[in-house]
Chain A
Amino acid sequence: MTATVAPDVGRGEAVLARTAAADRRRVRSERAVLWAGTAAFGTAILLFWQFGLGHLVNPRYVSDPATIAGRVGELAAEGEIVRHVGVTLGEAAVGFAIGSVLGLASAFALAQTRRGYAVFEPFLVGFYSIPKIALAPLFILWFGLGTTPKIVMAALLVYFVVFVNTATGIREVRPGLLQVCRVFGASRRDLLVKVTLPSAAPAIVASIRITVTRAIEGALLSEFVASTQGLGYLVARASREFDIATVFAGIVIIAAVVMAANGLLRFVEGRLSPWHGGRVHG
């Protein structure tokens, strides 16, 4: 009723070795294509902008990469750039700290009450719907032209995202986890510290990362409306003076700052929460 089989083992080794070699070749060539493609694409864009675009539209409107790079260099040499970046980043950082602390605190306060979230939900939706930029003039009326209105705007943008994500993270703790721990005899404090907080953590951490961009945006936005320093001021002034190269130089610097901040936070996030699965709202 049965038949036994004895396989050939030696050929297995050969197949393994061949597969490994083929895979290394494939990975290497794929990587080469990607690098070459990415570099070629970027170079093509820059070359076209430098030499081609000016023939299609008035060069006054689009400037060119060399001029823009020159402007970035000049701004850096004058030291002006450091001042503006410092101002904007400072406003964003303070606003970020205030906004995220308040967001966390109010979400946890609300989670202590049984129906708190249900009561406040419609108001939250309402506040969420306010285009925050429209509040910029109000903040200027209230706090003047200094850094305070920028900090408030940055904090506001951060606050809502952190608040909503934290509240959602807390409410989405799996009821099974809480039940099991209650059966173990956990106190309310235990539940908060050992279950709710860690299971909401990925959502909170992820929301904090995306709000760094929001904080910078908030600072820029209010600098556009009225200010005497900062990257937003730099771009807005250049734009009023029709100095397109400086406008683009400012945007390049802004993008670099945002990307650096993002990269830094991604790194920190990877260190802080090795487990993942946080969903980000907002």
Chain B
Amino acid sequence: MSTAEKVGENVQTVAVGFDHVYKAFVARGRRSEPVLALQDVAFDVRPGEFVSLVGPSGCGKSTCLNMVAGLATPSEGTVTHQGRPVRGVNTAVGYITQEDNLLPWRTLAGNVELGMEMRGVQRAERRGRAREFIELVGLAGFEEHYPHELSGGMRKRAGIIRTLVYDSDVVLMDEPFGPLDAQTRVILQAELLKLWQRSRPTVLFVTHDLVEAIALSDRILVFTANPGTVKREYRVEIPRPRDPFRIHETPGFGELHEALWADIRAEIGGGAP
């Protein structure tokens, strides 16, 4: 067999599948040589699983999410969602992007209702569900505020519940807590876990933060630098429910963090410490 072994065991049902995916593209605007972003990426995600993709910047992790969402197409290989290849924009998944991408001209409540509106949910139900989620993340009282009137953490919360509120079976998250300060980050991780426990969607989570990946995931895939490919897979055996505030103290955390860091360091070219 010339291609890589598939990562993931006992695959009965697969929520998201990457079948030997390659992706090359030409940077827009410039006349430059094409870049191979992904090379022979192969992994499966079981329904209800929380999987993090970690790796150096520019290793194509976000491209993976874009392909599940149908915003990008593989140059070769297939990406499947619930066993069917993704063709065109995949409106069955929820996508939480790096920027909060809230509509500046809609209030918090209006933004949270947006996805349900597109899916034709009745107004009364929309209102109710939006209010419920807004209360869940402690944003009650800010319903009529516009995004520019909210703090960074509040906007992130809004961006997350806006997607979770319409119950997709697969949720893609691209460094959702990227620019936040350290405290807010941990608070939001805890809130995300709480929300996730409610309906347990499948999550594909891109992050740079190894602690965050350990705190949240069932499984962590380490990507190589250019071109991106799955270098190694780690299972996180820490039992749930987890507490992101004390994740450092959990048995097994230290070894896992060290192993992950060693892998990443090899990729970013940092030699011995």
Give chain A's interface residues, CB within 8 Å of chain B: 1-9, 11-12, 15-16, 18-20, 23, 27
Contact = CB atoms under 8 A, between A and B. Distances in A.
B232 A15 contact: no
A8 B40 contact: yes
Nearest to B224: A7
Interface of B: 2-5, 7, 20, 22-26, 31, 33-34, 36, 39-40, 42, 75-76, 227, 229-235, 237, 259
B48 to A, nearest CB: 20
A282 B237 CA distance: 64
A11 B40 contact: yes
Given A8-B39, A18-B75, 10 more contacts: A1-B237, A7-B39, A8-B2, A11-B76, A12-B39, A15-B23, A16-B34, A19-B75, A20-B33, A20-B34
A108 to B, nearest CB: 36
A4 B39 contact: no
A16 B233 contact: no
A141 to B, nearest CB: 53
A23 B26 CA distance: 7
Contact of B7 (A1, A5, A20): A5
A12 B35 CA distance: 10
17 contacts: A2-B233, A2-B234, A3-B233, A5-B4, A5-B5, A5-B42, A5-B231, A6-B5, A9-B40, A12-B36, A12-B227, A15-B23, A15-B36, A16-B34, A20-B26, A23-B26, A23-B34
Contacts of A16: 24, 34, 36
Closest 3 CB pairs of A and B: A19-B24, A7-B40, A23-B26
A7 B237 CA distance: 26
Nearest to A20: B34
Given A2-B234, A3-B7, A7-B40, A19 B229 contact: no
Contacts of B34: 16, 19-20, 23
Contacts of A4: 231-232
A5 B7 CA distance: 8
A9 B39 contact: yes
Nearest to A6: B4
Contact of B232 (A3, A9, A11, A19): A3
A80 B9 CA distance: 87
A8 B232 CA distance: 15
B22 A12 contact: yes
Contacts of B230: 5, 7
Contacts of A12: 22, 36, 39-40, 227
Contacts of B234: 1-2
A23 B28 CA distance: 10
B21 to A, nearest CB: 10
A19 B237 contact: no
B55 to A, nearest CB: 13
Contacts of B25: 19
A3 B233 CA distance: 5
A18 to B, nearest CB: 7
Contacts of B5: 3, 5-6
B22 to A, nearest CB: 4
A2 B233 CA distance: 5
Contacts of A1: 234-235, 237
Contacts of B227: 12
B98 to A, nearest CB: 24
A16 B24 CA distance: 6
A23 B230 CA distance: 27
B123 to A, nearest CB: 42
A15 B36 CA distance: 8
B4 A8 contact: yes
Nearest to B237: A1
Nearest to B227: A12
Contact of B229 (A7, A20, A23, A27): A7
Nearest to A18: B75
A16 B2 CA distance: 19
B220 to A, nearest CB: 10
A7 B228 CA distance: 10
